[in-house]
Structure 1
């Protein structure tokens, strides 16, 4: 056979794992007879035929490199058989033929008179350079010329530290710049190839271009693609410096490199005899393809242009042919891709295509591949070896009549695929939008169903505690320099339902205008707190400030109303179809719309926060929980009036001292029938005296209730919100002059304070509780006891006279001068005291 074909046969048979250690030669167009062979000591990993001096180099696994002469030496038995078959060449493998014994060698290449090897180390790869033996010399390398190490990403040793055989063998190729002085111009089929000078200089540097030195390309199993300039490797032992500086990493494929080659992708790529490739190609085992060309940046400077593709894997072997074609074999088929500009249209002239469309050749199970050069014009020949050891030749037509429609069909197919993918994407997006709308509507219906169930259990009107309740407690705090009254709301869900998205806790605080500002309307503040999610048995705590207001005064009483609000707009807003969202953009509600107009409001509770809620008892608190000093009002008109009479003095002039000196404590009493109070208290009276139980009932919402109950107190000294002292006393008394049948047992509630405002506020709070109690017990008690009507008439008549006098004194205060003003004020205070005695009686 011819030299090129013989080289291809040696290469194919050496790399075929199914053939193991066998080496043979055969002629083109003739079938193979039963081989007569001599075995190598181990599996053959690589063969390379050197044209000069005509030697065959063989790499055996874990043995080293053997050097043989490919010239067959026939004996008398090697005669033509009767059927005309050519005799098989038999090459004797002598143990002395081991040129370089080294168990770590994984691959090699021959460059002119140099032998380049790649050995496996425990933590690196080692590139070594030897001088090949000359004709007539001993078949031994004349010595090592250079050496350099390549770093790896993971160690190559087993658990006991011994080297492990690599799963993928590295790839070693020699690249030379195209030109008349190229060393590899005659041995391209022996593992080397040429590369256009412009791309060669961009990839390997100016030194390699000026020296016109071949470059060794290394493709490692960890994905690294690196290079070493051969002439610098020759002088690496003579020149100082770090040998690792000779290594340049071009790229990282992130998968084992299985092939390195070069093709022509320019306008002359269809020329079969073109020997100036302008594109470097590297293939990975999993199908990743890397192409590197010489391109221009925005400034017009030559730069290497890298592009990556993805092909179906795994790639078993590959080969580069003319016309920009790359042949590669997978586990299922032998395919070809076209990297020339005439393949799939690309963006710029001369650039590789943006998409690779592999075309099948109808051949499977190919493990080694080589491109034949000596074939008839207009065709392309391939030599392939199958996994079963079958050697095959394939001839492909390269005429434009065949390739043109194929490329057009590939481009048309690619466009159709893009259109189909675009249509699928549009339908998928629409389907996703509709699915989302359906899910939102289903979720909205579920939320509405839960809202109806919650509404039913809250509006059912059944007796007992509500399944969803809100309790309120008050406490004093001092976040800054002023005392602040805060309310803590406990929203508790005792039902089996869940309050999900759309529910809001609405708290409205209504402040009554003071007597001095009778022309002002009551102010209301509304707080909205999203519930988020309140499952069965869950409890949510919310703390809000109640006062004082901007004027620094806490206006009591306060009406605090709590309700659950369910927003239909929030729940139904996301349940609209995609086409409905644009129609309703102009129907946005005004910002002043009340919450009740776009949802459901369910009342929970309503409380009146009065002075009894806000009284503080510093003397009852333990030492370690003693409240901080209490701050009084910013400006008290009574203190200002009294202080104007004192002038500058050395004695204390605080509010307490002024009130004690000029205003004796005012007292207001209320008497309640003991029978009526016992009926109202019910079980709370058991085990406790009636006066203590009554005081606990009055302070039921106060924070000091637990201390009062524990100490069984019937009298407490507290501090009102304005800083004035308030003395609250409850005791049992008998009224002898009112009952017709004898003394009437009553409970007297006495309020004493030096501040008229605090006295009136506390008195009003006590009366409000008693009024509610009387209304509740009116239907349960048969009737009032027998009373002396004459005594009641006298009391009513005396109070009528005193009320008329109060009106007269108030009118006189507006007209009299300062001389008589003091006497009128003193008389007015005396009349007010007489109005409170005898006190109010509830029976």
Structure 2
């Protein structure tokens, strides 16, 4: 920052002390100042003074229009008036500010306006304007000044604007407590006389009419501009009707001019326009280091338009005053002179660019090397062309500051064209580098904000699914759910078994990129498939976007005829890749065999649902009156059904051995099993008034593809085809069991299972027993069951089971000692299996 040497001298040797809110004005060659107390001191250049006493702490001073009296704003009291008659001066060396001995008796102080809310006031011709807070508004009041100044001032009008509520810190709240500032602006002309009072300024007619309207400009009405602590710059025109009467229809209207977004502490005009040197710019200064300059710009087809420019300067600004070319302000640590760059013709400004960016070449302020100044006033030019300022220091000393000759015309160092060009290149390079860094920083901030937003959404979804898993709300629908359905489809003249998985998003969040639906299939009993042809299979489906309330369907091929091993456990997960928060990742899921997914360093895995597919889920039902293909080709006669079943079994027998030798016992079908269920148990669960046998078959085969089972009173039965092509038959009939309960025979429903394949029969037997186990969990028996069972029948069943156990143990010993052929051992085990399946106990 450049500096300038200037001379400083004290106008008074006395130190007046300093309180909050020092202010001063000029009356001819006299300086009337208040250090924030209830005293107002009159000083002159010959080091003499007088003292006036006011009822309260003085916050603002202003002379009346005829310069014969003084208005003072007293804190929590109102506005007082005092005459300024001629009186002898008293040497300051013999009298201090607090010592009133020897001072001529001052004229009495009169309270002309009782308004404890007033924070600032301004005298404009014969009107006095006050402003202050009242509840939640800023209240402006206009009073008529009578010819006898000591008389009561009549109120003409008032206007209010809301106080803008803002959330601020403690330091900002202290800045917001600064009082408003008022100044008067009039339209200037070639014959205009420069104002001789603080707070009064002229402005070029063109800018005046653009800012305040053509009506105000035509009647040459003065305009009061107010700078509020919240940064708003408002104006209030003085219509002639206001000066003549208190007509309610002629009330002035406060209008918003601009918002500087920080407390405004000074308003003035600067520059020399084309009309007799009238100022051509309006200047407002914020306390935090902002300067607003308003000029006339070219708006193209719109004509002339006002241009508002903001500039940042070192702050904070404590006090300020202005000349045509410079703004002088104090920051307590230094007194600075800011050259005002006022272009004669600004670039074209459109409606979309009424606030163009600040000019990069705006000069830095010049340091005057004077500190601790709290008040500035009266800027004059000496006969030699030097600039003089009057200031008050923090210690309460009145100073006269003289700047070098010609300093008011600017202080710009002279440089060569080459140096200026190089400096311009350096500045442009610095601007480019700063712009690149700002762009990278902005991009980084946006990326992090987006990542945090995604991560927050992922955690919300995870918390909802974890709550569902802990069964906190068992009745509510899960936020994300999945359902399964097996279907046989005809593709290229071949039947294929598929699994349809439907994912539903019932949450309030969007499942976006990064989420993957993973499905894992694991056979439960690999022993049923000795060849082990089917192992664990995993599928992953990346989600593009799934909105709340939407579904996503995927169809999976279960297996070909010889690869499907039932029962099959299907597990579904929602997996989120944490790498997708910052960068895209390849589609995939970290599934491994036997792996239970959980929180990991790279993935978040959430369990959705697990189901078990058995033979009943994958069976093609032909119905009670149809063959293997009846679900597609229609019904046939019962004779054709039996013939088809026998032909299929005969074909299997013929293919046992190509050499004509006898096949093993595991291929000597058909194989039969039976299951007996209490009729009372089924009635309590099915609640069907029709045939209990047909209702049971309909319930068991409800998840199968094909026709629904119809009622056949004589012998209800169902034929079906398993995925491997083996036929099976299930028949239901009612039977009485007499030797089980002491209370009499027990009515049961007996299910007879038959298949030409032992593996198919075992799988069907498991599927039906699994469903009946679920039935036992759901049914609440209301009727009394057979509590008294015959011990003799249970002893017989136990003895029969012990005999079968001995046969199994004997077969295991033969295998261990290798004393019998495997075919013989297989035949024994098959006999035991058939005994267990054909003589079952009753499920009560």
Measured against the shorter chain, the TM-score band is 0.5 to 0.7
Q: What is the aligned counterpart of 1:148 among 158, 174, 181? A: 158
| Match of residue 618 from structure 2 | 614
Equivalent residues in 2 for 1:261-660 (5 A)? 261-264=268-271, 275-323=277-325, 325-341=326-342, 353-354=359-360, 355=362, 357-397=364-404, 399=406, 403-405=411-413, 419-420=429-430, 422-423=432-433, 486=499, 505=518, 527-529=539-541, 545=555, 558=564, 602-604=592-594, 611=615, 614-615=618-619, 655=635, 658-659=637-638
Query: Is structure 2 residue 186 aligned with structure 1 residue 169?
Result: no
Aligned equivalents of 1:259, 1:660: Cα separation in 2: 110
Q: CA deviation at 1:261?
A: 0.5
Contact 2:139 2:160 in 1 (8 A): yes
| Match of residue 814 from structure 2 | 782
| Match of residue 199 from structure 1 | 207
| Match of residue 7 from structure 1 | 27
Q: CA deviation at 1:334?
A: 2.1
Aligned equivalents of 2:624, 2:562: Cα separation in 1: 15
Instruction: Give CA deviations for 1:355-376 in whole Å, capped at 9, x if unaligned.
Output: 5633332222221112422324
Aligned equivalents of 1:186, 1:474: Cα separation in 2: 91
Contact 1:178 1:197 in 2 (8 A): yes
Q: What is the aligned counterpart of 2:51 among 23, 26, 37? A: 37
Instruction: Give CA deviations for 1:537-576 in whole Å, capped at 9, x if unaligned.
Output: xxxxx99645799xxxx968646999999xxxx9999999
Query: Is structure 2 residue 760 aligned with structure 1 residue 765?
Result: yes
Q: CA deviation at 1:66?
A: 3.6
Q: CA deviation at 1:94?
A: 3.6
Q: CA deviation at 1:389?
A: 0.7
Instruction: Give CA deviations for 1:76-130 in whole Å, capped at 9, x if unaligned.
Output: x879999xxxx99956444354444443433333333443344554444122131
Q: CA deviation at 1:388?
A: 1.3
| Match of residue 26 from structure 1 | 43
- RMSD value, Cα: 6.6
Q: What is the aligned counterpart of 2:265 among 255, 258, 267? A: 258
Aligned equivalents of 1:351, 1:507: Cα separation in 2: 61
Q: CA deviation at 1:433?
A: 10
| Match of residue 142 from structure 2 | 128
Contact 1:476 1:485 in 2 (8 A): yes
Q: Which secondary structure does the structure 1 equivalent of 2:236 belong to? A: strand
Larger strand share, 1 or 2: 2
Would the alpha carbon gap of residues 107 and 435 (structure 1) be closer, same or farther in structure 2, given more than 3 Å must change?
A: closer
Instruction: Give CA deviations for 1:1-60 in whole Å, capped at 9, x if unaligned.
Output: 9xx99438866613x43xx223223333x5x57x66342221122222346353333332
Contact 2:627 2:640 in 1 (8 A): no
Q: How many residues align?
A: 583
The TM-score with structure 1 as length reference comes to 0.53
Would the alpha carbon gap of residues 278 and 610 (structure 1) be closer, same or farther in structure 2, given more than 3 Å must change?
A: same
Worse overlay, 100-109 or 554-563: 554-563
Contact 1:564 1:601 in 2 (8 A): no
Q: CA deviation at 1:319?
A: 0.9
Q: Which secondary structure does the structure 2 equivalent of 1:373 belong to? A: strand
Aligned equivalents of 1:632, 1:153: Cα separation in 2: 86
Q: CA deviation at 1:281?
A: 1.2
Aligned equivalents of 2:178, 2:387: Cα separation in 1: 29
Equivalent residues in 2 for 1:182-221 (5 A)? 182=192, 185=193, 187-221=195-229
Aligned equivalents of 1:396, 1:284: Cα separation in 2: 24
Q: Which secondary structure does the structure 1 equivalent of 2:814 belong to? A: coil
| Match of residue 833 from structure 1 | none
Would the alpha carbon gap of residues 413 and 105 (structure 1) be closer, same or farther in structure 2, given more than 3 Å must change?
A: farther
Would the alpha carbon gap of residues 266 and 351 (structure 1) be closer, same or farther in structure 2, given more than 3 Å must change?
A: farther
Instruction: Give CA deviations for 1:765-806 in whole Å, capped at 9, x if unaligned.
Output: 348999xxxxx999965338869999x99xxxxxxxxxxxxx
Contact 1:8 1:383 in 2 (8 A): no
Contact 1:639 1:659 in 2 (8 A): no
| Match of residue 514 from structure 1 | none
Larger radius of gyration: 1
Aligned equivalents of 2:233, 2:442: Cα separation in 1: 44
Q: CA deviation at 1:282?
A: 1.5
Contact 1:502 1:571 in 2 (8 A): no
Aligned equivalents of 2:196, 2:184: Cα separation in 1: 9
Contact 1:266 1:340 in 2 (8 A): no
Q: CA deviation at 1:262?
A: 0.6
Q: Which secondary structure does the structure 1 equivalent of 2:189 belong to? A: coil
Aligned equivalents of 1:777, 1:426: Cα separation in 2: 84
Q: Which secondary structure does the structure 1 equivalent of 2:412 belong to? A: helix
| Match of residue 657 from structure 2 | none
Contact 2:224 2:235 in 1 (8 A): yes
Equivalent residues in 2 for 1:662-673 (5 A)? 663=642, 666=645
Q: What is the aligned counterpart of 2:189 among 168, 171, 179? A: 179
Contact 1:295 1:302 in 2 (8 A): yes
Aligned equivalents of 2:625, 2:393: Cα separation in 1: 103
Instruction: Give CA deviations for 1:187-216 in whole Å, capped at 9, x if unaligned.
Output: 333320100010111111122211112122
Q: What is the aligned counterpart of 1:231 among 239, 259, 262? A: 239
Aligned equivalents of 2:155, 2:129: Cα separation in 1: 10
| Match of residue 109 from structure 1 | 122
Q: Which secondary structure does the structure 1 equivalent of 2:43 belong to? A: coil
Aligned equivalents of 2:105, 2:384: Cα separation in 1: 38
Would the alpha carbon gap of residues 640 and 227 (structure 1) be closer, same or farther in structure 2, given more than 3 Å must change?
A: closer
Contact 2:614 2:763 in 1 (8 A): no
Aligned equivalents of 1:10, 1:632: Cα separation in 2: 122
Q: Which has the higher contact order (CA 8 A, sep 6+)?
A: 2
Contact 2:59 2:75 in 1 (8 A): yes
Q: Which secondary structure does the structure 1 equivalent of 2:301 belong to? A: coil
Would the alpha carbon gap of residues 404 and 562 (structure 1) be closer, same or farther in structure 2, given more than 3 Å must change?
A: farther
Q: CA deviation at 1:296?
A: 2.0
Q: Which secondary structure does the structure 1 equivalent of 2:235 belong to? A: strand
Would the alpha carbon gap of residues 299 and 377 (structure 1) be closer, same or farther in structure 2, given more than 3 Å must change?
A: farther
Q: CA deviation at 1:416?
A: 5.5
